[in-house]
Amino acid sequence: MSTSGTTADDGAGRGTHLVLRLLFLIGLGFALLGFVESAFIAYDVWSGGALSAARAPDLGFGIRSWTIHHALRPGYVSPNVKTNSMGLRSPEVAIPKPSGTLRVLLLGDSFTFGLRALDKDLFARRIEERLKEKAAPATVEVINAGVLSYCPLLEYLQYRQQLHILEPDLVVLNFDMSDVQDHLAYSRDLSASAEGLPLFVTEPSLRRQVPSAMPKLLLFEWLGRRIQGIRGRVQSTLEGVAFVRDQDRYLWALDGGPDMDAEAKSTMAPITDLAALLRHHNIPLALATYPQPWQVSADATPLPPIRGQYGIGYNTAHLNDRPFRKLAAFAAEQQIPFVDATPEFRRDTKPASLFLSNDFHFSAAGHALYGRVVSDFISDHRLLRFDR
């Protein structure tokens, strides 16, 4: 009896067995992938497109930009927010500016934009109402150009590339305590002239748009975003530069936090460029700032997750005025009119009520107070020529 045939049959059988196991494992893997993807799809449908929206970021509220990193989509309409043809949260603006119109342009981030606030409550509208009382027969328009997560670098580029056509009579730049970290992040993608003048900032994902062999699965896209976020946080930690992590966002403004003198100076530098640009057209610039909730009261914005997420501490107030002093010194050196609303916020009889309880942005009362402070500053320092 020959054993060679038996051995060959056994080898072939084992080979077939391995192939079948491999096919089974591949099939099991695809089945598992399909199950997980189905769960992601179900969640996406339930959440109204929370995951799939990332596939078309330029079709949502915010759009990516080759020149100013990101902007608001023109003509966006939702129950709470509308943007005009320039992507600004303001009524439509006439171009060129009508005769007899005094136009104030507000630059800033989500506080200026008015996140979680109604249009009628925005401090832009409060400033406009108060200035109109003093401007008759002239018409006053206050244009809200605030964009979420902006900083002076992007605000300078925004004006230089787009907003100059509005012909403002006054520009007010609203400086936020988060601007330092935002600058550290955006300046990494900055293209500047040989003289160091900012030219443009491109949103990084626009540079990475290359064909991919991977299927467009929500699971893969979600994992990609998580990995990218982890990579950024690791890089921020290794470099010792606070440009990503939430717990570093207000680091320079906390009691016991680092001075970050060089970072603050770099953040404020584009304000000098903006002032020079405006001065060329005889347009005054004012610098304004306001406090975060924890710079006013220990019980402001008491609900999770904000204070924990940003390393602030619950039932804690950070009352050092170092960032405000730096802004004041910068403004004095550059001869830019400067107003700090912090004292008025701290003197309020109910300071915690000036902010949302579960978010660090202004409440309607906060918008009203800041609008009063800025409008009075404009009037008292005659930054608008009502007698034109």
pLDDT tens digit sequence for 100-121: 999 999 999 999 999 999 999 9
Indicate whether 16 belongs to any domain: yes
Better-predicted residue by pLDDT, 240 or 377? 377
- 338-340 β-sheet, strand order: 139-144, 101-107, 170-175, 285-289, 338-340
Pairwise CA distance, residues 275 & 335, whole Å: 10
Indicate whether 236 belongs to any domain: no
What's the pLDDT score for residue 234? 59
Q: Same domain for 119 and 20?
A: no
Give the range of the structural domain holding residue 137, as residue numbers without chain letter.
Answer: 62-210+249-380
Q: Same domain for 89 and 132?
A: yes
Cβ-Cβ contacts under 8 Å for 6 (sequence gap 6 or more): none
Q: What is the mean pLDDT of residues 38-61?
A: 76
Q: What is the mean pLDDT of residues 239-268?
A: 87
Indicate whether 225 belongs to any domain: no
Angle between helical axes of 218-239 and 4-46 (0-180°, round to 10): 80
Q: Same domain for 149 and 171?
A: yes
**pLDDT (tens digit per residue) in 66-100:** 999 999 999 999 988 999 999 999 999 999 999 99
Indicate whether 217 belongs to any domain: no
Q: Residue 87: helix, strand or coil by DSSP? A: coil
Structural domain total, the chain: 2
pTM over cut 0.85: yes
Would you mind telling me the total number of residues written for the chain in this entry? 388
Q: Same domain for 175 and 72?
A: yes
Indicate whether 242 belongs to any domain: no
Pairwise CA distance, residues 123 & 289, whole Å: 13
Pairwise CA distance, residues 48 & 100, whole Å: 46
Instruction: State yes or no: cis peptide before 137, omega within 30 of 0.
Output: yes
Q: Give me the CATH number covering residue 259.
A: 3.40.50.1110
Q: Same domain for 297 and 357?
A: yes
Kindly tell me if the per-residue pLDDT of 241 is higher than 90.
no
Indicate whether 353 belongs to any domain: yes
Q: Same domain for 40 and 107?
A: no
Return the ∠ at Cα 293 (arms to 87 and 159), rounded to 5°. Answer: 25
What's the pLDDT score for residue 134? 84
Mean pLDDT lowest for which of 27-36, 45-54, 226-235? 226-235
What's the pLDDT score for residue 138? 79
- Note whether 142 and 104 are within 8 A (CB): yes
Q: Same domain for 298 and 198?
A: yes
Q: Same domain for 21 and 139?
A: no
Kindly tell me if the per-residue pLDDT of 217 is higher than 90.
no
Q: Where are the strands (E) in 6-137, listed by range?
A: 62-64, 70-72, 101-107
Kindly tell me if the per-residue pLDDT of 300 is higher than 90.
yes
Q: How far does CA 310 lie from the centroid of its chain? A: 15
Q: Same domain for 103 and 26?
A: no
Q: What is the mean pLDDT of residues 212-217?
A: 65
97: exposed, middle or buried (Cβ count in 10 Å: 0-12, 13-18, 19+): middle
Q: Residue 24: helix, strand or coil by DSSP? A: helix
Q: What is the mean pLDDT of residues 331-360?
A: 98
Q: Same domain for 27 and 107?
A: no
Q: Same domain for 3 and 133?
A: no
Indicate whether 231 belongs to any domain: no
Pairwise CA distance, residues 64 & 27, whole Å: 39
Q: Same domain for 165 and 195?
A: yes
Indicate whether 238 belongs to any domain: no
Taking CA atoms, 58 is separated from 67, 70, 204, 285, in Å, by 15, 10, 14, 32
